[in-house]
Structure 1
Amino acid sequence: MNNNNFRKSGLAIAMAAAMGASTGASAAVEVYNQDGTSFSVDGYFNAFYVNRDDKLADTRNSDVKMGFLPNTIGFNFSKEVGDLTMGGRSSFWSTINDSLQSPTDTAIDVRQLYATVDGSFGQVLIGKDFGLYARSNIFLDEILMGFGSPGAPTGVSFGNIRTGYPYPNPSAQITYRTPDMGGLKVAAGIFEPANTTPGAQSEQSAPRLEAEVTYSADLSGVALTGWLNGRSQKSENATTSVDSTGLGYGVRASVAGFSLTASGFTSEGDVPVLISDTAAPLAEEDADGYLVQGSYTLGANRFVLSYGETDSDQADFETENTSVAVFHNVNSSFKLVAEYNMFEQRTKSTGADAADIDTIALGAIVTF
């Protein structure tokens, strides 16, 4: 059975990368597999005790929240039809952080709803999935299954979004992926463009373009992974034109339990958090950032040190984020996490401190 759907889903990549190849990340539970047709279900559940010291507000709060990855359940199907394999995935992402604000109305969003066609030519994906720009930057983040920097009060924490990389937000797309060519993989697609120039005669006459190239190899026992990704789009109205471009990159090297990852991005005309429709026209100003991480795996434990920065003229901020974390695998489906995070943000135009927050997060994760 040539079932590529779960393997290529965002959650599967995230889990495999964060748990490490040696731990054997949980696969989906196969519900049906007969006569070339299969159906499976996967899930990710987590909760953290969070103690946050906001030094500027002079407050300390305790919360029970989810981590950087929301609680998720996904459904995958695959069907062989001649030389082709038809597939698809739908995943539902839910917060637990709104339990007092919306006691019986938990927010649910669908970040993946797509079909795939696989063959000797590679794969074509149609529907909604994570973007290609900054995709490997975030999916290979060592603290992806941790907590990270503060986020929205009733939403997820931000991990290293805006402190090392932007978010590859799920978008409507038509994307082509090549077969694995000796470790080299290429993906390119057209995406729904964002309206970054609202106003009279606003238009986006061409789709947003995104692409990613990845390469993996083993050199004398050293596992290497490198990537380069980017996006480009144009939006204009009667008086303004904004070209939004971004370039992401990174490399990871792993040997004998040690792993070192360095990644970064640079962009213009794009707020370095996520791309979306805007209330007012954006300016074509710059942003850049980087993330450096080291980890060591010893038995069932993985120790992580992470540091990232982002400098944005567009959003008028400078940020830095430091995380120290320990991940302990109780078994292949159950993980415990302890993390200490230090986040700082300054307003570039004034130099004033905008945030200075230390966070302790103790969590548990169950996957299937």
Structure 2
Amino acid sequence: MPALRLTRSRFALALLTGTTSLALATHHAHADEYTDLLDILRLKGSLTKSEYDGLMTKHTRHMRADASAARHASPEPEEREARAQTASGSNTHSHHVLRSASHRTELAGNDSDAALFQAQDAARRAEASADAAQQALASARAEYHSPSIVRVSDYVPGKGITFHAGQIDLNFSGFVNGFYTFNNPGGGTPVAGGVANGASGFDSSAVRNGLLPAGMLIKVSTTQEGWDMSANFGLYPGINNNKPGAFNANSGGSAVGLGTAGLDVRQVFATFGRKDVGTFKVGRDLALFGGDAILNDATLLSVGSTGSNTAPANTSLGRIGVGYVYADWIPQISYMSPKWKGLQGTIGIFEPLDEFNFAGGGYSAGNTQHSSPMVQGKVTYDFNIGDVTARIWSSFLVQHQQALLGAGINPSAKRGQTAAAADIGTKVTYGPLEGVAYYYYGNGLGTTGLFFDGIAANGRKRDSEGYYVQMAYKILPKLKLVGSYGQSNLYQAPGEITPLLVRRNESEVGAAYYNLTDWLTLMAEYAHTTSLAHGPDHNKDNTISVGAAIFF
């Protein structure tokens, strides 16, 4: 009889141990359900990351406390064995003690049966609840990726705002700037094709745009059948009145009442490609030759040389014509290769442009007929050496100019020329220091703008070259100082004598840029510009500009 009671006692203890394990399993099932619920709420955006992390930390702490309490409530195997031996008693114990032990064992058995049933029922309910949570999570994930749901990416300063609607991404970015600019002429005589205002003889003030007008950039992109593609629009309004002219929105402005600001639609292009194939571009965008020169020019964010401050256009000159030839925004069909170990190439055909008599006075030839497109190409190489980050680039252009018109061209002489140009540049960054060096050479290229005064009135090509060097230093995390010098040279064609034609435009620029916030930059700048002719004529001016720009 004692042996039977001992067996029943051990069976009851085993049931109790099993009940505890089922209870713990049920608790973990509820814990998994709670975790799934938190994941769903986080996924749907009902919880912030900090709220989610806080609730999970608190939940984990409670789980550990409950597990510890459960372990203390359930006797260890050694303790259960000792209690079983005590419950069985020895032959010296009284009959009353044996009956009491037997009674307690029977009660424990009955309680264990009930606890086992409850635990099994709780386990079934927990399993059903976990299945429901999994279904809810799957539904939430499907809803998250539904085309009817519009999501917004985390904002990165300078990268714009990106919306995701199903497979389509829509990005908006842009900038707005304005400067007070004071120009003081340094005297001299006019230079044909010069960019200094020294000969004007009087000071001028303006509230104007810098080298950049304002801009609103829109990009719509998606991936279809493995191809990445995008449609891009760049709208660039100015703040000054527009006056239609040879350069349209970028002509000299109209400083009269009841005027209207101009809108320069520079970018309208599409891209499509794959990482292993490369990217194709069709439409209007920044050209390749000279593109990196302007994009790395610090005056792109400020003013530089003003060109004309009395009736300001949508843009100033920056270093255009005083260090590089403006790349311009040109209709094109181009191809950019995949990047291989930092090396990448681009080539394309572009809308051909006329030779233009920018200097005036009939000093240059012109044309309006082209049987072949312009061709441009570029190679870039990005690399690191320790803490030094660098890029080297080189680009070229070739265009045949035909049916040239010029006062000095013999009717029986050749009326076609092939203009060509090439450049090379580098940008090196080391900690707070940043340096840029650039050089270009052209034959029939001209100066300031593409094919401006590139061919003389006698139909012969003029050589041109130029360069700029620039150094920037961040003396504080938000404060950067920049200094640069550059010049553009235009040489006379063989057999040409044009003493009034510009020989050199050059400038020195010093500027300070302070990033008040991620969006807002405050700027102050001084620029000294000089224009020299092939004869004795020359002039110079000084420009001080202060302003602000917002980039988002």
After TM superposition, is the score higher than 0.5? yes
1:188 aligns with 2:347: yes
Deviation at 1:34, TM superposition (A): 2.4
Amino acid at match of 2:209: M
Can you list the C-alpha shifts for 1:125-147, whole angstroms capped at 9, x where unaligned? 00000110001111011221011
Distance, in Å, in 1 between the alignment partners of 2:422 and 2:335 is 19
Length-normalised TM-score, structure 2:
0.59
Deviation at 1:276, TM superposition (A): 5.8
Deviation at 1:45, TM superposition (A): 0.2
Distance, in Å, in 1 between the alignment partners of 2:257 and 2:489 is 35
CA RMSD in angstroms, aligned pairs only: 2.0
Name the CA shift for 1:25/1:68 in 2 (closer, same or farther; >3 Å). farther
Deviation at 1:104, TM superposition (A): 4.0
User: What residue is the counterpart of 2:529 in the other structure?
Assistant: 343
Deviation at 1:336, TM superposition (A): 0.3
User: Which of 214, 232, 235 in structure 2 is aligned with 1:92?
Assistant: 235
1:307 aligns with 2:450: no
Secondary structure of the 2:299 match is coil
Length-normalised TM-score, structure 1:
0.87
User: Runs ≥4 in structure 1, deviation > 4 angstroms?
Assistant: 276-282
Distance, in Å, in 2 between the alignment partners of 1:351 and 1:210 is 37
Distance, in Å, in 2 between the alignment partners of 1:28 and 1:182 is 29
Superposition map of 1:316-355 within 5 A: 316-348=502-534, 350-353=535-538, 355=539
Q: Which has the larger radius of gyration?
A: 2
Contact 1:342 1:357 in 2 (8 A): yes
Amino acid at match of 1:49: Y
Contact 1:226 1:251 in 2 (8 A): yes
Contact 2:345 2:380 in 1 (8 A): yes
Secondary structure of the 1:137 match is helix
Contact 2:218 2:234 in 1 (8 A): yes
Distance, in Å, in 2 between the alignment partners of 1:294 and 1:277 is 29
Higher helix share: 2
Q: Which moved more, 1:139-148 or 1:334-343?
A: 139-148
User: What residue is the counterpart of 1:356 in the other structure?
Assistant: 540
Deviation at 1:88, TM superposition (A): 1.5
User: What residue is the counterpart of 1:48 in the other structure?
Assistant: 179
Deviation at 1:207, TM superposition (A): 1.0
Amino acid at match of 1:29: I
Secondary structure of the 2:398 match is strand
Superposition map of 1:135-174 within 5 A: 135-152=291-308, 153-155=311-313, 156-174=315-333
Contact 2:456 2:462 in 1 (8 A): no
Deviation at 1:316, TM superposition (A): 3.1
User: What residue is the counterpart of 1:295 in the other structure?
Assistant: 472
User: What residue is the counterpart of 2:378 in the other structure?
Assistant: 212
Contact 1:43 1:367 in 2 (8 A): yes
Secondary structure of the 1:95 match is strand
User: What residue is the counterpart of 2:550 in the other structure?
Assistant: 366
Contact 2:240 2:260 in 1 (8 A): no
Deviation at 1:165, TM superposition (A): 0.3
Secondary structure of the 2:239 match is coil
Distance, in Å, in 2 between the alignment partners of 1:48 and 1:288 is 31
Name the CA shift for 1:38/1:267 in 2 (closer, same or farther; >3 Å). same
Q: Which moved more, 1:95-104 or 1:327-336?
A: 95-104
User: Which of 145, 154, 158 in structure 2 is aligned with 1:26?
Assistant: 158
User: What residue is the counterpart of 2:251 in the other structure?
Assistant: none
Unpaired stretches in structure 1, ≥5 consecutive residues: 1-23
Distance, in Å, in 1 between the alignment partners of 2:257 and 2:328 is 24
Superposition map of 1:65-76 within 5 A: 65-76=208-219
User: Which of 115, 120, 124 in structure 1 is aligned with 2:280?
Assistant: 124
Q: Which moved more, 1:47-56 or 1:148-157?
A: 148-157
Contact 2:289 2:422 in 1 (8 A): yes
Q: Considering Cα pairs closer than 8 Å and 6+ residues apart, tell me whether 1 or 2 has the greater RCO.
A: 1
Contact 1:137 1:248 in 2 (8 A): no
Secondary structure of the 2:292 match is helix
Contact 1:131 1:170 in 2 (8 A): yes
Contact 1:143 1:304 in 2 (8 A): no
Secondary structure of the 1:332 match is coil
Contact 1:194 1:277 in 2 (8 A): no
Contact 2:446 2:452 in 1 (8 A): no
Secondary structure of the 1:284 match is coil
Distance, in Å, in 2 between the alignment partners of 1:316 and 1:357 is 16
Name the CA shift for 1:137/1:25 in 2 (closer, same or farther; >3 Å). farther
Can you list the C-alpha shifts for 1:303-343, whole angstroms capped at 9, x where unaligned? 00000011112663311100000000011111000000000
Amino acid at match of 1:205: S
Name the CA shift for 1:187/1:134 in 2 (closer, same or farther; >3 Å). same
Name the CA shift for 1:215/1:66 in 2 (closer, same or farther; >3 Å). same
Deviation at 1:226, TM superposition (A): 0.7
Amino acid at match of 2:206: D
Distance, in Å, in 2 between the alignment partners of 1:204 and 1:306 is 38
Distance, in Å, in 1 between the alignment partners of 2:210 and 2:366 is 34
Can you list the C-alpha shifts for 1:209-263, whole angstroms capped at 9, x where unaligned? 0011111111011111111011000021284112111111111111120111110
Amino acid at match of 1:74: L
User: What residue is the counterpart of 1:254 in the other structure?
Assistant: 429
Distance, in Å, in 2 between the alignment partners of 1:112 and 1:319 is 29
Distance, in Å, in 2 between the alignment partners of 1:25 and 1:135 is 23
Amino acid at match of 2:353: A
Higher strand share: 1
Deviation at 1:362, TM superposition (A): 0.3
Contact 1:95 1:154 in 2 (8 A): no
> Between Structure 1 and Structure 2, how many residues are aligned?
340
Deviation at 1:198, TM superposition (A): 5.0
